[in-house]
Amino acid sequence: MADRFISRGFVGKRRQTEATNRVPPGQHAVSDFPVLSAGPTPRTRLDQWTLTIEGLVREPVRWTWEEFLKLPAQQFVVDIHCVTKWTKLDTRWEGVSVDTLFEHVELDRKAMVVTAFSDGGYTTNIPLPEIINGQAFVAYTYDGRPLAPEHGGPARLVVPHLYFWKSAKWVRGLRLMEKDKSGFWESLGYNNHGDPWKEERYAGD
Amino acid sequence: MDDVQSDVNRELMLDGNAVAGKLQDIFGLEMTANPTECAHCGNVSEIGGLLAFTQAPGAVLRCPTCENVMLRIVETPDAIYLDARGAAYLRLEHRTS
Amino acid sequence: MKRTLEWQIAAVKSITPETPKVKTFTLTLPDWTPHRAGQHYDVRLTAPDGYQAQRSYSIASEPERRGEIDLTVERLEDGEVSSYMHDVLVPGDQIEVRGPIGGYFVWEAGMGGPLLLIAGGSGVVPLMAMIRHRAAAGSTIPTRLLYSSRTPEDVIYSNELEKLRATNTGLEILHTFTRAQPPGWTGYARRIDNQMLSEVVKPLGISPQTFICGPTLLVEAAANGLVQIGVKSGQVRTERFGPSGGTA
């Protein structure tokens, strides 16, 4: 835009340009972990918490918190990218791979997409092929400590190869569906897919 | 009255005043003094009194009584999106001039 | 009033330190319009590569002071805009602003009273605009400011508040300090609670027109407390600031 006013001496904080191939276009690396939320922190008691796989499966399955913690878990170190332009490298999590969760159900052949749903009503949609094969997990520790409520605790979905709004905080289940259904942000101007490497931020990108 | 538990998320919560500029961009009018009814619980509040979550990919305004989503606003490079399904109505009073 | 908000380039006329972390920026505006006490301006910074940061700051000055506005800004540790304003901006610089914005959290002398103002930290800024406007308008509406600060050093406009109290009929200022008090202090020395609210409200009658501004937790505690002691919720207007500072 021609003759836009430039503020003398302003560069913006956290603007260190990383000449690294780990930071997607338009992103900058941060060292803190910003808290973003669309609503108040849900406070589900652990004795009432469950995680469900439902929808286009032969039999839905549900784990209580104790049962969930007994599932085989792994350490994950991943980079995460928020559509609001911050990227955090080498985040450390512990959780259960979605592949492990799906071992307990038989997927219907018609299942094409997954809607992740959370306490508080948040939803987000992910193509089925992009949530399996080691691409997603349900995490319950971050940086060696129990996942804090403001970051999605007790458990959140993590799908690091897509913008982080797809990593639903306070996740309570995954629903297998045939027809794609836009989630909370996808239905209001954000990209349905959300690949940070193709800068799929907004609808139409 | 119970002691307020530290809640990082709640501390970041603001109110409709924080989106006054965005709403004026959308409506061309000052909106925060206008009442709106929650489609979920029927509570009527001035927009300035709604709870606002602005640390997010968009702004989410919630009913101060039942905390259901009333308005959502997303700004992209090309457009502003407004979802007002959570509001049964927005009331804009006639103004002289 | 139908009006689109346009950005304009203001000039920094002067910068006045208020407390170690708070400064007042006096800006002259080419396109100044009278504001209403309680409104704010948006401030936008643009870097050479096009990156922008934007924040809202409440107007501290009264609308009777024409052609210029005061924005009182607390410097936040992580604050992109506040640290630029505190550390880089000097008189003579220019800064992009738009406003005035707001219509819910506003008070004009014509609206009457009695008036109860409750401030936490930098939440005092829009309430100060109301107090200054009240003085400029020659109003004698019974008005009480309950102002919560951590320590006496954190009180913004300390001297001016004392002066206004002494020279303005019907204006009272009550401080509460939550961490450290002045020597010999006999006033409130704790967080705002219902007992304090009852005492503060009493001389103003059952249901004064009330404006509360500050961090979310303080605002909610005060608003809920007032309703619990009988103030009609329709009389209470609130503006939440972030953990310390202005609205996002």
Output the domain CATH number for residue C159.
Answer: 3.40.50.80
In a domain, C64, yes or no: yes
Report the gap between the CA of A25 and the closest CA in chain B (Å).
16
The reply to whether residue A35 touches residue B55, judged by beta carbons under 8 angstroms, is yes
Distance in angstroms (rounded) separating the CA atoms of residues A125 and A115: 4
For the segment A79-127, what is each residue's pLDDT rounded down to a tens digit? 999 999 999 999 999 999 999 999 999 999 999 999 999 999 999 999 9
Q: Which domain holds residue A179?
A: 47-198
**CA end-to-end distance (rounded Å), chain B:** 46
In a domain, A15, yes or no: no
The DSSP H or E segment spanning C206 is: none
Do C116 and C236 lie in a common domain? yes
Find chain C residues with C-beta within 8 A of A7's C-beta.
45-47, 84, 94-96
- Total domains in chain A come to 1
Supply the CATH number for residue A152's domain: 3.90.420.10
In a domain, C248, yes or no: no
Helix (H, G, I), strand (E, B) or coil at A181: coil
In a domain, C3, yes or no: no
10 Å Cβ neighbour count for C115? 25
In a domain, A83, yes or no: yes
Report the gap between the CA of B11 and the closest CA in chain A (Å).
10
Do C119 and C89 lie in a common domain? no
Say whether pLDDT at C244 is over 60. no
Find chain B residues with C-beta within 8 A of C221's C-beta.
1, 4
For the segment A149-200, what is each residue's pLDDT rounded down to a tens digit? 999 999 999 999 999 999 999 999 999 999 999 999 999 999 999 999 999 9
Q: Are the CB atoms for C177 and C150 separated by under 8 Å?
A: yes
For the segment C130-146, what is each residue's pLDDT rounded down to a tens digit? 999 999 999 999 999 99
Least CB-CB distance to C248: which of B18, B25, B29?
Answer: B18
In a domain, A8, yes or no: no
- Beta-carbon pairs below 8 A across chains A and C: 42
- Total domains in chain C come to 2
Which residue stretches of chain B are H helix? 8-11, 20-27
In a domain, A30, yes or no: no
Last residue of a domain, one of C75, C101, C127: C101
- pLDDT value for C242: 83
- Confidence grade of residue A11 (pLDDT, cut at 50, 70, 90): confident
Nearest C-alpha neighbor of A71 from the set A57, A56, A51: A51
Task: Spell out which chain C residues touch chain B, with contact meaning CB-CB distance below 8 angstroms.
Answer: 1-5, 40, 42, 56, 98-99, 101-106, 193-194, 215-217, 220-221, 224-225, 228, 237-243, 247-248
Mean pLDDT for C159-181 is: 96
- pLDDT value for B5: 44
Find chain C residues with C-beta within 8 A of B26's C-beta.
none
In a domain, C1, yes or no: no
Find chain A residues with C-beta within 8 A of C78's C-beta.
13, 32
ipTM of the complex: 0.90
Mean pLDDT for B11-29 is: 94
In a domain, A19, yes or no: no
In a domain, A2, yes or no: no
Residues across chain B: 97
Q: Are the CB atoms for C164 and C62 separated by under 8 Å?
A: no
Do C59 and C181 lie in a common domain? no
Distance in angstroms (rounded) separating the CA atoms of residues C31 and C40: 15
Least CB-CB distance to B1: which of C3, C4, C228?
Answer: C228
The reply to whether residue C242 touches residue B11, judged by beta carbons under 8 angstroms, is yes
The reply to whether residue C40 touches residue B1, judged by beta carbons under 8 angstroms, is no
Angle at A198 between CA C46 and CA A86, to 5 degrees: 45
Q: Are the CB atoms for B42 and C21 separated by under 8 Å?
A: no
A74-81 and A86-97 beta bridge pairing: antiparallel
Peptide bond into C100 cis (omega under 30): yes
The reply to whether residue C240 touches residue B20, judged by beta carbons under 8 angstroms, is no
Mean pLDDT for A11-38 is: 82
In a domain, C2, yes or no: no
Nearest C-alpha neighbor of A48 from the set A117, A119, A121, A97: A119
Peptide bond into C91 cis (omega under 30): no
Q: Which domain holds residue C54?
A: 8-101
**Measured between CB atoms, does C64 come within 8 Å of chain A?**
no
Do C91 and C131 lie in a common domain? no
- pLDDT value for C49: 85
Burial of C6 (0-12, 13-18, 19+ CB in 10 A): exposed
Say whether pLDDT at B1 is over 50. no
